[in-house]
Amino acid sequence: MEKLVDVTQESEKVKKLMLEPSTSHAIVCDNLKKVYPGGDGNPLKMLGPNGAGKTSFINMMTGLVKPTSGTGLVQGLDICNDTDRVVYTDEPSAGLDPASRMNLWTEIKRAKQNIAIILTTHSMEEAEFLCDRLGIFVDGRLQCIGNPKELKARYGGTYVLTITTASEHEQEVEMLVQDVSPNTKKIYHIAGTHLPKVEVGISEMFQAVEKAKSSFSVFAWGLADTTLEDVFIKVAGTSQAFNVFS
């Protein structure tokens, strides 16, 4: 995957900040890396599978573990120094029931108005609800960065259509979708279909389905917009080493 403009701009910004450290940026990381005995030295990641490096990142940024290489600045100070007004949360809502999780999220959203927060999580829902900026990594390298809305607009470009009907009408459904959007991509016969937004509008799809109901039974149907999870999977591709930080 080619490096995008936003990633290049972010890299240039970091280079300038490393030359002239400033307290105006709460967190600055430049090629931060931790190599453990027997490890391969891959750059650290943030959100992802167990063992991806999320906790190691937190430990380095809080000074609990010394980095093998790279630099981290917190409000202009090296991460080996004491810092304040920065909160680190490592999978904060893991294991919580829905009510407790929402209470926690509310407190984090309130707190981030006055302090910088670094959050690691396995949850796309949590990332989208709490994070102002998201960076997606593939094989330890930043592939894109932006707020959730920007990333969904950039990498989405499709609606996901689901239609529930009797199995004998599957061919009619496929013909309906092809008529509305020739470049449609069928995901799975029980999961949904991707419709390019440039080809189909919501009202057009609604009219097509209502018309189809006169020919065969439609028990239920829905048209969903791109989710952050869709973006994450698309950017990560087939890589197994993918992570998100905010």
Q: For 74-122, how does the pLDDT look when each residue is reduced to its tens digit (9 = 90+)?
A: 777 777 767 667 788 888 898 899 999 999 999 998 888 888 888 878 7
Domains of the chain and any CATH numbers: 5-146+238-245 (3.40.50.300), 157-225 (3.30.70)
Residue 163 φ then ψ, to 5°: -130, 125
Helix, strand, coil abundance in the chain, percent, nearest 5: 35, 25, 40
Task: Work out the mean pLDDT of the chain and round it to a whole number.
Answer: 76
Q: CB-based contacts of 62: which residues, under 8 Å, 6+ apart? A: 79, 88
Q: What is the pLDDT of residues 221-239, one digit of tens each?
A: 888 888 888 888 777 764 4
Residue 204 phi/psi, 5-degree rounding, is -65, -40
Q: Rounded to whole angstroms, how far apart are CA atoms 12 and 1?
A: 19
User: Which are the contacts of 238, defined by CB distance < 8 A and separation ≥ 6?
Assistant: none
The stretches in the chain having pLDDT less than 50 are: 1-2, 38-45, 190-191, 238-244, 246
Please give the distance of CA 152 from its chain centroid, rounded to a whole number. 9
